[in-house]
Amino acid sequence: MSCSRSRRAGRKGEEHIAGDVSFIGSEYDGGYAEYVVWPAALCYDMPLDSFVDSAVFTVSGLTAWHMNEQIEIQPGQTIVITGASGGVGSFNVQIAANVHGANVFAIVGDLKDEAKLKELGASRVFSYRSETLVDEILEANGGPVDAVLDVVGDALFATALEVLKNGGKFCISGSAGGQPTQLDFRKLYLKHITMYGSVLGTRAEFQAMLEAIESGKIRPIVDRTFPLPEARDAQTYFKQRGKFGKIVLVP
């Protein structure tokens, strides 16, 4: 279960940056509860018939939707997406390509998932293990890209800034590859790069995401499910590399 809320809810359109945003499983116990009491005003109809399929969008899907909104994608722009096989990354690929009409370059560790990512909407798939990754991206696009949606952090930060065009946009919502990083501010201001930090989104964005799910533009990507008594095993599996999509605990 992944749920969040704000007790005061914040101003309309700014719910995601309200000072009292909190998470079940973080600020509140109960992330593995079978039942939860929840304010009716914060509940929405499931977009799909399946509880498992509907559950995967709550945090990862909304975070990806908001990331895409922040960089204001225009049809035909080239967007580089890191961690593209993960929960947020796989939604980023679908939203950028299928909702906004972008040309998506997906970056993953293992190219075994290339066909799956292209099914989701990616036009090209690259491995971050390549020693010539920057050159490969620039060559494939015929020059620098318009924006980067990043969930990796330090490991691909330098690459992201290098492939961005002058006036490009960089949005980060995770640091799976390492938290601390070094930023040469000259790169930032000389290229006029706009940087965004992102997590979750607004109620209006959540509603728009649900509509996109119902219309089939975004689909759930479930790597594996675990029964609730195997929550420990699920956490261990979550830390492993090579997954594709979300892991779901089923009460």
13 and 39 share one domain: yes
Q: Are residues 28 and 82 in the same domain?
A: no
Domain limits for position 154: 61-197
Q: What are phi and psi of 82, to 5 degrees?
A: -90, 160
Looking at residues 75-100, what average pLDDT do you find?
95
Beta bridge partners of 169: 147, 194
The CATH number of the domain holding residue 243 is 3.90.180.10
Domain with residue 159: its CATH number is: 3.40.50.720
What b-and-e string marks burial along 159-184, b requiring 16 or more CB atoms within 10 Å of the CB? bbbebbbeebbbbbbbbbbeeeeeee
Local confidence band at 29 (pLDDT 50, 70, 90 cut-offs): confident
How far is 176 from 174, CA to CA, in rounded Å? 6
Whether 74 and 121 map to the same domain: the answer is yes
The tens digit of pLDDT for each residue in 170-190 reads: 999 987 766 778 888 888 898
What's at 206, amino acid-wise?
F
54 with 148, same domain: the answer is: no
The reply to whether 129 and 167 lie within a common domain is yes
| pLDDT tier for residue 17 given thresholds of 50, 70 and 90 | low
Q: How far is CA 34 from CA 4, 6, 246, in A?
A: 16, 22, 19
Kindly report which listed range (24-33, 52-61, 100-109) carries the lowest average pLDDT score. 24-33
* Same domain membership, residue 193 and residue 74: yes
Could you read off the pLDDT of 100-129 as tens digits, one per residue?
A: 999 999 999 889 999 999 999 999 999 999
- Above 50 in pLDDT, residue 78? yes
- 151-167 average pLDDT score: 91
Same domain, 220 and 157: no
CA–CA distance, 34 with 208 (Å, rounded to integer): 28
Q: Percentage of the chain with pLDDT > 90?
A: 63
1 pLDDT band, cuts 50/70/90, is: very low
**How far is residue 176 from each of residues 188, 212, 225, measured CA to CA in Å?**
22, 27, 22
Whether residue 41 is found in the same domain as residue 11: yes
Q: How many domains does the chain have?
A: 2
Q: Is the domain of 69 the same as that of 86?
A: yes
Is the same domain home to 165 and 210? Answer: no
CA distances from 230 to 24, 50, 220, 238, 246 (A): 19, 21, 22, 12, 16
* Same domain, yes or no: 67 and 166: yes
The pLDDT value recorded for residue 62 is 94
**Are 132 and 22 within one domain?**
no
Mean pLDDT of the chain: 89
Tell how far CA 170 is from the center of its chain.
13
